[in-house]
Amino acid sequence: MKKPSLDRITTDFIRKFLDAYEIEQESISKDFEKFSSYCAIKQHYSSHFESEDIDNISVGETSDTGIDAVGIIIDNKLVDSVEDIDLLIDGKENVQILFIFVQSTISHQFKSTKFRDFTIGVKEFFYDYAFPQKTKTKQRSKKVDSKAHIACKLLDKTSVMSERPKCDLYYFMGNDVESKLGINKNLINSEKEDLINFNLFNEVNIKVHGTSYLHTLYRQTLAKPKVQIYFPHKVSLPEIKDVTQSYIGRICFSEYKKLILDEKTGNIRNVFEDNVRHFNEKYSINKEIKKTIEKDNIEKFVLLNNGITIVVKKLSTSADYFTLEDYQIVNGCQTSHILYQCRNNPRIHDLWITLKIIHTENQGIANDITTATNSQTEVSFEALNSLLKFHRDLEDYYLSSSYKIGKDEINLYYARQEGKYDKDANVPYKSRIISMKDQVKSFAAMFMNIPHESYGFYGQRLKARRIDEGMFKDDHFFEPYYTSSVAHYELYKYIKNKSNNANSYNIARFHILMILKYLILGDNIPKANHESIKAACDLIIGVVQKKRIFKKYVIECIDVIKQAKKEPEFQNRQENQIFKVESFVEKIKEIALERKRQETNI
C-alpha cells in the first residue's frame, strides 16, 4: 500500500523551516511533526522562537502518549523547568497561562483511534494534579513526564488565582483539502467536553485541520502585516522631524478590528512585538476595560480609554482609506486584546477608539514613542532595557561583524527587541538571531563564570543579582558579548549534529562555554572594559572558526566535565542538579586551569 505523501507547498514550507533553523532533515513524518508544532505554538508566542525552543517543546518519541509537542506558556514565556515557575509567578497576583498540545499525522484521513490516542494522552497528562489516584492507561516517556510534572506544579501554585489557564489542542493531517479530511465533529466535541469537565481550564479549544491551515499559520510567521482601514474622523498632526506623517482621530471597532484580527485563522495578529508590555488579562486596568464594555457603557469607552498608538513603516492614503504595512501597536496591547475577547458583544460595533498613527522609519523616534506611551502599568526590565543606547549600539556591532567557517561567512543578529528580524527576509537563518535572553545567558556563562545560572528562565535570577553588577555597562567593549554568542551558536550546532554523539551534553553547554574560555586563555582573563579583551576574544573566535581545532577543544571540555563528575561530592547527585550548583562550577574551573597550566609547561 502506498504511503501518504504531503503536497508540494507543505513540503516546500517544511524545507524552508528546517533551513531557517538549521535543523537536520529526518523522515517526512518527523519533519512534519516539528513543522506543525512550531506553527501551532508560535502563533501564541510573540518572542523569538529559538532552536532550543523547538527542541524543548518536542516530546514525540516512544511512549509519547500520542503527543508530538507540549508548549507551556506563562505571560509569553515558554516554560521548560519547575524553577521557571517560581521565577515567573512568585510575588504576582496575576499571570496568564496557556497549555498547548500538538499531534500531527501525514495520513490524509481523520482516524478516530489516532485522534483519541492524542486526547487520552492529553487528559492523562493532567491526572497527576486532577486525579492523582486514577490509573493511567499510557506509559509516559521521560520528556512527557517532565512536562506533566511542570504542569502539576504550575496548577498547584496558581490554584488560588481568579482566572484559570487555557488549553489548546491542535491535530493536523497531511491532506491540503479540508473538505476531504472526514472529521468526526461529534467525537471532537465529546473529547472537548471531557477536558472541560476537569474543571481546570477557563477555556478549551480543539482545532483539527489539514495542511492548508498550516500554510496560513506558517505564512503568518513570515509576513509583515498589511491592512486597509477606513479612517475618516482624523486630523493631521503638525510637521515633526523624522516623522513622514502622523494623524490622530477616532475609529469604530468594525474598522479597528482589521488591524488586530486575522480573518483567515480567527486569531489575534502578532503586531505587539514593539509593545514593551505583553497582554495580561488579569491587570486591574483590563478588568476595568472589560467592565466598560460588558456593563453597556460602550458609548463612554472613547472617553475613558487612553487609546491606541500605532507606528507604521509604510503608509499610503487615498481619501479616507489608509493602507498600513509593517506596523506595530506600541501602546494599546491590553486594550486590543480585551476588544478581541469582546468582539462578539452585540453592541461592540457602536464602540469608538482613539487612534494615533505615526509613519516613521526612524527607529529612535519609534523607541521614544514606545517609552513615552508606556508608563501606566508595570513594564519588564528586559523590555525597557532593550531601548537603551548600549543595546542599540550592540545591535549595530553585530550587523557590522561576521566570521568564517571554511568558505561560509556567517552573520549573527542581535535582536534587542522581541520578535525583531523574525519576519525580515534579509535574515534567512532564524537560528542566527540572538535574543536578549540568549545574550544574557551566553555572556554570563563565558565571561561572568555563572553558567549554573543560565538554565531555565534567565530573567529575574540574572537581572536582580548580576546585570547591575557586571553586564551591559556603558564602558564595556562589545567583543565579549559577540564572542560569547558566536561560541554558543557554534557549540549548539556541534552538540545537535548527530554524528558528534554529544547531544547528552546539551544540558552542560553553558559550562562548556566557560571551560572553553579557560582552556584557550588560561586564568589571565581581561575585564570587559579593558582594551586587551579584544585580543582575548579574537583568540576564542579563532579557535571556533577552525572546525577540527574547535572539535578538539569541545571534546576536552566534555572530558573536564566527566572528570569533575567523578569527584565524591558529585557522584550521588542527579545530573540535572549538578549543573545548577556553584561548587561544580568551581571544580570544572579548577580542572580546566590545571590542564591549561600543564599544556603551557610542556
Q: What is the 3-state secondary structure (H, E, C) of 293-320?
A: HHCCCHHHHHHHCCCEEEEEEEEEEECC
Question: CA–CA separation, 14 vs 8, rounded Å?
Answer: 10
| Per-residue pLDDT band at 394 (split at 50, 70, 90) | very high
Q: What is the pLDDT of residue 326?
A: 87
Q: What is the pLDDT of residue 18?
A: 96
- Angle at which helix 547-565 crosses helix 509-521, to 10 degrees, equals 110
Give the three cell numbers for residue 420.
525583531
Question: CA–CA separation, 34 vs 198, rounded Å?
Answer: 29
Question: CA–CA separation, 224 vs 504, rounded Å?
Answer: 38
**Owner of C-alpha cell 505583553:** 278
Q: What is the pLDDT of residue 403?
A: 96
Q: CA geometry: angle at 42 spanning 38 and 48, to 5°?
A: 105
| Per-residue pLDDT band at 265 (split at 50, 70, 90) | low
- pLDDT surpasses 70 at 297: yes
Q: What is the pLDDT of residue 183?
A: 92
| Per-residue pLDDT band at 468 (split at 50, 70, 90) | low
As a whole number, the mean pLDDT across the chain is 87
Q: What is the pLDDT of residue 299?
A: 87
Q: What is the pLDDT of residue 173?
A: 95
| Per-residue pLDDT band at 376 (split at 50, 70, 90) | very low
Which residues does 247 contact at the CB level (< 8 Å), separation at least 6?
A: 231, 234, 235, 236, 237, 356, 357
- Percent of the chain having pLDDT more than 90? 58
Give this prediction's pTM.
0.79
- pLDDT surpasses 50 at 441: yes
Give the three cell numbers for residue 213.
491551515
Q: What is the pLDDT of residue 178?
A: 81
Give the three cell numbers for residue 44.
501564541
Q: What is the pLDDT of residue 15?
A: 96
Mean pLDDT value of segment 553-570: 95
- pLDDT surpasses 80 at 242: yes
- pLDDT surpasses 90 at 437: no
Q: Tens digits of per-residue pLDDT, 477-510?
A: 999 999 999 999 999 999 999 999 999 999 999 9
- pLDDT surpasses 90 at 383: no
Q: Is 105 helix (H, G, I), strand (E, B) or coil?
A: strand
Q: What is the pLDDT of residue 46?
A: 76
> Of 76 and 354, which is predicted with more confidence?
354
- Most confident by average pLDDT, 4-8, 73-77, 135-139, 557-561: 557-561
Q: What is the pLDDT of residue 139?
A: 87
CA distances in angstroms from 393 to 10, 332, 376, 486, 528, listed in the order given: 39, 28, 28, 18, 16
Which residues does 59 contact at the CB level (< 8 Å), separation at least 6?
A: 67, 68, 69, 70, 141, 143, 144, 147
- pLDDT surpasses 70 at 81: yes
Q: How far is CA 46 from the centre of its chain?
A: 6
Mean pLDDT value of segment 306-321: 93
- pLDDT surpasses 80 at 266: no
Mean pLDDT value of segment 240-255: 94
| Per-residue pLDDT band at 177 (split at 50, 70, 90) | confident
Q: What is the pLDDT of residue 82?
A: 85
Q: Out of 209-223, 397-411, 459-473, 516-530, which region has the weakest mean confidence (pLDDT)? A: 459-473
> Of 125 and 293, which is predicted with more confidence?
125
Q: What is the pLDDT of residue 111?
A: 93
| Per-residue pLDDT band at 27 (split at 50, 70, 90) | very high
Mean pLDDT value of segment 457-480: 69
Q: What is the pLDDT of residue 460?
A: 46
| Per-residue pLDDT band at 374 (split at 50, 70, 90) | low
- Percent of the chain having pLDDT more than 70? 89
- pLDDT surpasses 80 at 388: no
Q: Tens digits of per-residue pLDDT, 562-585?
A: 999 999 999 888 877 899 899 999
| Per-residue pLDDT band at 312 (split at 50, 70, 90) | very high
Range 473-491 burial, b when 16+ CB lie within 10 A, else e: eeebbbbbbbbbbbbbbbb
Q: How far is CA 42 from the centre of its chain?
A: 7
- pLDDT surpasses 90 at 86: no
> Of 235 and 436, which is predicted with more confidence?
235
Residue 90 sits at φ, ψ, to 5 deg, of -60, 130
Beta pairing partners, 28: none
DSSP summary character for residue 429: -
Q: What is the pLDDT of residue 459?
A: 44
